[in-house]
Amino acid sequence: MTISRKAWQYSRSRLTQLSEQPASGVPVDVRVCGLHKRYGDVTAVDGVDLEVAKGEFFTMLGPSGSGKTTTLRMIAGFERPDAGTIELGGKDVSSLPPFDRDVNTVFQDYALFPHMTVQENVEYGLRVKKLPRAERRNRAKEVLRVVRLEEYGGRKPGQLSGGQRQRVALARAIVNTPRALLLDEPLGALDLKLRQELQIELKQVQQKLGMTFIYVTHDQEEALTMSDRIAVFNEGKIVQVGKPAEVYEHPASEFIAGFIGVSNVIERDGRRITVRPEKIRVLEDGALPDEGTRVEEGTVRDVQYVGPVTRYHVSLDQGGDLQILTQNLEETSTEVLALEGRRVRLAWRPEQESVIGEREGVPA
């Protein structure tokens, strides 16, 4: 077991190392080095480094006040960093104003010009670049088709629904074909169903255009659904970078484990480990666990029937609590609720757990 653990840890560290950088061979579109920003006594961004490859969907995920939006605003040029550099396509743009940077932003409140029509909003950036009228028309028409709003060019933003406004904001930004598109919680103001629809739509647009997206969100599900890579922010620092599956299944700290999903941390042999609730199996009475699996015994303290799944809270005999999530394939609610107070044996494979470091920064 110890051997396999070492082998796994080795492979895991290699895996993380690889995905912390964009895949080799692909040019880097956005590079941020040693970014710092303070507001009075508050340190908003405390040494952020990141590289985003061309065509990548890169998400900055973190709780409010973790520095993700400030980092995005510094890339856009709305805030000036106290220290550090920002490169776009290899060119240092740290001291350039927003209007001289080849990036465009989709704002959280959409920031559509209320006195202009949808068409005029979309053409704004092209008009600034003094493109001929016919070309402006064509390109605006084209992006409005991409966001499925070709019929709405003559309307004012006030006559559109939230989801439509969001798509106009997207069209207004992508029509300029920027080197990178910066999205600041673009779906934050929409209800859940619309948000899920637009997540898919945004991802499709991004893949179709092959455009670099830097996406800020505090919604972990959104980040996992859409991203090529995720950078998890906490207290002004990036605490982990990786592909969605890596960040989710192998969180580097208790904070990340808790922020992306349920923290599920127990202490064994002086080490703190975490395992995702859906990876834990409940063993049948008398069933023998597979070779090398971890087995823990405990008592079911609480059962929550949530329709498609059931959530169990189990107190372990060796100390600690774990949450377990099982799909309700065959079970009825009566059956699963009857498990409350019963003794159970839990099992999971060692590669499904993660050893985590420090305890600090646990979300409340």
Interface with other proteins (CB under 8 A): 76-78, 97-99, 103-105, 107-109, 111-115, 124-125, 128-129, 172, 176
Whole-number Å distance between alpha carbons of 197 and 110? 18
Q: Which is nearer to other proteins, 53 or 112 (CB)?
A: 112
Q: Which is nearer to other proteins, 77 or 251 (CB)?
A: 77
Q: Which is nearer to other proteins, 19 or 69 (CB)?
A: 69
Per the listing, tokens 């973790």 go with 66
SS3 per residue for 173-214: HHCCCCCEEEEECCCCCCCHHHHHHHHHHHHHHHHHHCCEEE
DSSP 20-52: HSPPTTSPEEEEEEEEEEEETTEEEEEEEEEEE
Give the distance between the most distant pair of CA atoms in the chain.
78
Q: Which is nearer to other proteins, 111 or 355 (CB)?
A: 111
Q: How far is the CB of 35 from other proteins (least distance, A)?
A: 19
Q: SS3 for 331?
A: coil
Q: How far is the CB of 311 from other proteins (least distance, A)?
A: 40
Amino acid symbol at 240: Q
Q: SS3 for 345?
A: strand
Whole-number Å distance between alpha carbons of 152 and 168? 9
Q: How far is the CB of 30 from other proteins (least distance, A)?
A: 15
Q: How far is the CB of 146 from other proteins (least distance, A)?
A: 18
Q: How far is the CB of 172 from other proteins (least distance, A)?
A: 7
Q: How far is the CB of 70 from other proteins (least distance, A)?
A: 14
Q: Which is nearer to other proteins, 107 or 305 (CB)?
A: 107
Q: Which is nearer to other proteins, 14 or 115 (CB)?
A: 115
